Amino acid sequence: MKLVITGYGIVSTVGVGNEAFERGLSNLDAQTATKPSSDATGAPLIREIPDFDPTPWLGEKGLRSLDRLTKELVLAARFALHDAGLKKDGAYVSVDAEAIGFCCSNAYGSLEAINELDRVAVLEDARYINPSKFPNTVSNTAAGYASIWEDVRALNVSVSDGNCGSLDTFVLARQFFETDRASVLAVGGGEALSESIALAFGRLGALVSECVIGEGASFAIVETAAHAAQRGASPIAEVLGASTTFGATATDSLFVPAERALVRAIDEVCAQAGISADSIDAVFGSTSGLHAFDRAEERAVRARVASPTPFVAPKSIFGESFGAAGALATAAALATFKGHRPTFLGDGPLPRTILLTALGYYGNAAAVLLRRASLDSSPHA
Amino acid sequence: MQTVPEASRSRVLVTGVGVLSPIGSGKVRFYEALAAGRSGAAQVTRFSTEGLGRSVACEVKDFVARDHLSPVESRRMGRCSAMALAAARMALADAGLQANAWEDRTRVAVIVGTTMGEADVLESLDQTLVRSGAGAMQRSHLARVGSTLLPTHIARAIGAEGLTMTLPAACAAGNYAIGLAYDLIRTGKADVVVAGASELIQQLQFSGFVRLAAMAPEMCRPFDKNRQGILLGEGAAVFVLESEAHAVRRGAAVQAEVGGFGLTCDAYHITRPHPDATGSVTAMRRAIAEAAVTADDIDFVNAHGTGTKANDTAETAVMNEVFQGKRVPISSLKSMFGHCMGAASAIEAAACIFTIEQGIYPPTIHFETPDPECDVALVANVAQRGAHRIVVNNSLAFGGYNAVTLFAQPGVLVPPNERPRAFFSARTESSS
């Protein structure tokens, strides 16, 4: 079954909306890290979406009870559904709501909502917590709101697999197409910056000394090539493979850069694609400034994809955005296929086949292999 | 209609069950309590409920982490992970499997559902942050927060190296985990999946449901005219699911077959089900269709049955629409062990296995007054015996998530390669 990506949507630190994002990818001025606003000694640098305001696209009605994560996800989903031509002016034009689903990654839920209600419980009394905010504390609520706002009804599956999560959603998508659970899937994830996440990672300072915390949300629209052809959609990319693995069974340490598991994930996606790793033109990795993990990831990648094939770090412009990380890197890959050159890619020909990799903190690893769609790509190839 | 190639389709068999519940932990105690219609409700012991106007919940009282976990594991995990790992070890023992003794550890997956994961750890950190500032937060606690830890703790302990995934699907999370496991095995992606869900009761969650006016004062009475809402529960249930070939090779005792999985989203309201229950109806029909049976073949339905006005009337609509007048016995076990949130549909799946194995329908206790708007064939107050070839496990969740799993006695369903593949591809193919 050939799967293709026919559109994407993104809310990111380098641009809100696809056009702004594609401009920002190649503009260093759009990629500046900022300090958290609170007085948080030792807190890491953060990359925050500046003055994030979704009202130009979502309007004002109904936004008041939504938290930042929800707004980011809803907006990214809306951009993606329109970019893929599934919606026009807010209405579906070529597919039923019952045939579209979400596979959405998020690592920490809405810490903003949890912290706000905990603060009320501690400083005032639990009986005074705002009931309209309580649902926001549940991990899948942001994805649930996105399905309501965008009328997505085939399925809604949330994943919480740390910084491997949004590559894992491609694994789910492949599975759900194979078992025929949807015709189209919006695949990706989101993570919102909050004071508590910045403070917590600041407290883990030894681990994150060079790590910049980021945020954002992105969805890629995935469907079978046959379905895309049937509705006249033009693919941006082909999903050649997706794999998620685990490799912390031989160690006592809680934090495990599972190098061997990542090699296995790379082997699996190449096997699914039926190509050799030699065919990979660039690797968009998950290196973030955590040295042990960065070195392990580089060793795993270089075990299969030799230099001088570029091994680059999208997090150098997005920061570490955990559950959204793979989704943001995917968006960067799709923009690259469209001819935009991210600053982190450097010079040289734009890649046609991109491997995305992720190495989790607790032994997870994931890989996704994308190829730029050919103009003559056959839906049955 | 297209069929999936035979080589890639396998029966998905339940060979091990591990459960920690408010009415008893371990399969034997849990099953005894189900048959007896025991209540797990009592005054909350782990945190103060003063001033909230509600003080009753269904806690797991017989769980001691060190009975199941090593000292290192105990230090490393919050209660949610600890219960998940304990249930996983029970399931492996029940299946006659040993950790780290797999044919191929890369084909062993672990999937855990939850609503909030290690919510008590997060709550504790938040309280420290508010009271004493970031500098007082313990690093060891910070490292225990992410829900992604739940399956990784299990995978590490049992030596699994396949897909490892957390599905935060609120109150349907258990069915999500079982359903994805079913998909992975039947399509040949895994030989064994250790799948289930875990959840704990903590103060913020308790207070939130009180503030939503969704919590009953003392008891949960699903489908009763005078029902007043949910009682919170907690616990974990984990299953060993195997491909038929893997189970046969090792001579495993098969407890049930997972025959179908239905998944939809209401896209209607963040906390309430769609009043017409169209998404739930589709999910249940899909689960039944995947098993290549009809609604007439279903012997028993485990209801989501939260005891709220909205849920129970919506679920009655599902029963009426799917079964078209057939009075299929239905029961809500939340009357016994409360609403265990992310773990609910996993613990209730364990009850479905009990029904499949023993032919007993667990009762909906505390039932007194029939509600004309909930006219279902309720197994009221006392367990009943009945046909037990095929049962359905229904679940709904915050976010409009609907998930249904179907369980059957081994050998009842036709082989997977003779089952039709329907829905979306059929629609696409017919219109192309």
pLDDT, tens only, B179-205: 999 999 999 999 999 999 999 999 999
**pLDDT of A5-34, one tens digit each?**
999 999 999 999 999 999 999 987 767 666
Q: Which two tokens stand for residue A147?
A: 């399905």
Q: Do A140 and B129 touch (CB under 8 A)?
A: no
pLDDT at residue B211, as a whole number: 94
pLDDT at A376 over 60: no
**pLDDT of A278-291, one tens digit each?**
999 999 999 998 89
Give the whole-angstrom CA distance, residue A282 versus residue B242: 38
Give the whole-angstrom CA distance, residue A71 versus residue A52: 9
Q: Do B164 and A244 touch (CB under 8 A)?
A: yes
Pairing mode, if any, of strands A100-105 and A184-191? parallel
**Per-residue CA distances from A163 to A196, A301, A315, A364, B86 (Å):** 18, 17, 11, 9, 26
In a domain, B7, yes or no: no
pLDDT at B428 over 70: no
pLDDT at B93 over 90: yes
Of B165, B212, B265, nearest to A159 by CB-CB distance is B165
Chain B residues close to A140, C-beta within 8 Å = 115, 168-170, 397-399, 401
pLDDT at B67 over 70: yes
Q: Which amino acid is at A371?
A: R
Give the whole-angstrom CA distance, residue B131 versus residue A54: 33
**H or E stretch covering B257:** strand B256-265
In a domain, B5, yes or no: no
Of A155, A196, A246, nearest to B265 by CB-CB distance is A155
Q: Give strand ranges (E) for B4-126.
A: 12-20, 42-43, 56-57, 108-113
Query: Which of A67, A155, A201 to substitute to test the interface with B, most B CBs within 10 Å?
Result: A155
Other residues' Cβ atoms within 10 Å of the Cβ of residue B29: 16
Q: Do B432 and A230 touch (CB under 8 A)?
A: yes
pLDDT at residue A44, as a whole number: 63
Of A130, A135, A245, nearest to B161 by CB-CB distance is A245
Chain B residues close to A154, C-beta within 8 Å = 263-265, 424
Q: Do A175 and B180 touch (CB under 8 A)?
A: yes
pLDDT at residue B131, as a whole number: 86
Instruction: Report the percentage of chain B scoring pLDDT > 70.
Output: 95
Longest dimension (CA), chain A: 64
Q: Same fold for the domain at A3-230 and the one at A240-372?
A: yes
Chain A residues close to B211, C-beta within 8 Å = 127, 129-131, 134
Pairing mode, if any, of strands B360-361 and B330-331? unpaired
Higher pLDDT, B120 or B194: B194
Q: Which residue of A has its CA nearest to B138?
A: A203
pLDDT at B174 over 90: yes
In a domain, B221, yes or no: yes
**How distant is the Cα of B398 from the closest Cα of chain A, in angstroms?**
7
**H or E stretch covering B160:** none
Chain A residues close to B289, C-beta within 8 Å = none
**How distant is the Cα of B36 from the closest Cα of chain A, in angstroms?**
33
Give the whole-angstrom CA distance, residue B17 versus residue B356: 13
**How distant is the Cα of B242 from the closest Cα of chain A, in angstroms?**
17
Chain B residues close to A162, C-beta within 8 Å = 146, 148
Q: Taking the domains of chain A in order of start, what are their residue ranges?
A: 3-230, 240-372
Q: What are phi and psi of A13, to 5 degrees?
A: -70, -20
pLDDT classification of B432: cutoffs 50, 70, 90: very low
Cβ proximity of A80 and A8 under 8 Å: yes
Higher pLDDT, A135 or B386: B386
Q: Which two tokens stand for residue A39?
A: 């007085």
Q: Which amino acid is at B243?
A: S
**How distant is the Cα of B292 from the closest Cα of chain A, in angstroms?**
15
In a domain, B410, yes or no: yes
Catalytic residues of B: 171, 304, 339
Cβ proximity of B205 and B233 under 8 Å: no
Render the burial of B367-397: b for 16+ CB within 10 Å, e for the rest: beeebeebebebbbeebeeeebbbbbbbbbb
**How distant is the Cα of A346 from the closest Cα of chain B, in angstroms?**
34
pLDDT at A324 over 60: yes
pLDDT at A221 over 90: yes
pLDDT at residue A209, as a whole number: 61
The whole-number average pLDDT for the span A180-186 is 97
pLDDT at residue A201, as a whole number: 78
Chain A residues close to B135, C-beta within 8 Å = 41, 203
Cβ proximity of B68 and B86 under 8 Å: yes
Looking at the structure of chain B, the number of domains it has is 1
Query: Which of A63, A125, A158, A183 to substitute to test the interface with B, most B CBs within 10 Å?
Result: A158
Say what the ipTM of the complex is. 0.95
Ranges of H-type helices in chain A: 18-25, 55-58, 68-83, 111-123, 141-150, 165-178, 195-203, 225-230, 259-273, 291-302, 315-318, 325-337
The whole-number average pLDDT for the span B13-38 is 98
In a domain, B33, yes or no: yes
**pLDDT of B154-168, one tens digit each?**
999 999 999 999 999
CB proximity A290 to B under 8 Å: no
Find which of A129-143, A207-221, B346-360 is predicted with most confidence, using mean pLDDT: B346-360
pLDDT at B429 over 60: no
Give the whole-angstrom CA distance, residue B54 versus residue B76: 32
pLDDT at residue B179, as a whole number: 98
pLDDT at residue B42, as a whole number: 98
Of A106, A147, A171, nearest to B163 by CB-CB distance is A171
Residues 6+ apart with CB under 8 A from B132: none
Radius of gyration for chain A, computed over Cα atoms and rounded to the nearest angstrom: 20
Q: Do B134 and A107 touch (CB under 8 A)?
A: no
Closest CA to A152 of A110, A88, A103: A103
pLDDT at residue B347, as a whole number: 98
**pLDDT of B342-381, one tens digit each?**
999 999 999 999 999 999 999 999 999 999 999 999 999 9
Q: Which two tokens stand for residue A143?
A: 């994805």
pLDDT at residue A36, as a whole number: 52
Instruction: Report the percentage of chain B scoring pLDDT > 90.
Output: 86
DSSP string, A42-53: TPPPB---TT--
pLDDT at residue B68, as a whole number: 96
CB proximity A55 to B under 8 Å: no
CA angle B162, A282, A30 (to 5 degrees): 105
**pLDDT of A345-366, one tens digit each?**
999 999 999 999 999 999 999 9
Q: Do A200 and B110 touch (CB under 8 A)?
A: no
Out of A44-53, A129-138, A325-334, B39-48, which region has the weakest mean confidence (pLDDT)? A44-53
- For tokens 């449901």, the residue is B209
Radius of gyration for chain B, computed over Cα atoms and rounded to the nearest angstrom: 21
pLDDT at B34 over 80: yes
Closest CA to B336 of B217, B222, B196: B222
Cβ proximity of B194 and B108 under 8 Å: yes
CA angle A229, A234, A237 (to 5 degrees): 105
**How distant is the Cα of B151 from the closest Cα of chain A, in angstroms?**
9
Q: Do A131 and B213 touch (CB under 8 A)?
A: yes
Average pLDDT of every residue of chain A: 91
Q: Which residue of A has its CA nearest to B165?
A: A161
Ranges of H-type helices in B263-328: 278-290, 309-323
CA angle A350, A236, A98 (to 5 degrees): 155
Closest CA to A242 of A272, A220, A264, A216: A272
Domain covering A240-372 in this structure, CATH number: 3.40.47.10
- The CATH number of the domain holding residue B138 is 3.40.47.10
Query: Which of B4, B127, B149, B163 to substitute to test the interface with A, most A CBs within 10 Å?
Result: B163
pLDDT at residue B50, as a whole number: 93
Q: Give strand ranges (E) for B51-163.
A: 56-57, 108-113
**Per-residue CA distances from A189 to A103, A109, A309 (Å):** 8, 11, 28
CB contact residues (below 8 A), chain A span 179-218, against chain B: 179-183, 196, 199-200, 202-204
Homologous superfamily (CATH) of A3-230 is Thiolase/Chalcone synthase (3.40.47.10)
**Is the peptide bond between A308 and the residue preceding it cis, with omega within 30 degrees of 0?**
yes
Of B152, B166, B203, nearest to A126 by CB-CB distance is B203
**How distant is the Cα of B51 from the closest Cα of chain A, in angstroms?**
7
In a domain, B145, yes or no: yes
CB proximity A110 to B under 8 Å: no
**pLDDT of B245-265, one tens digit each?**
999 999 999 999 999 999 999
Range of B339's domain?
16-431
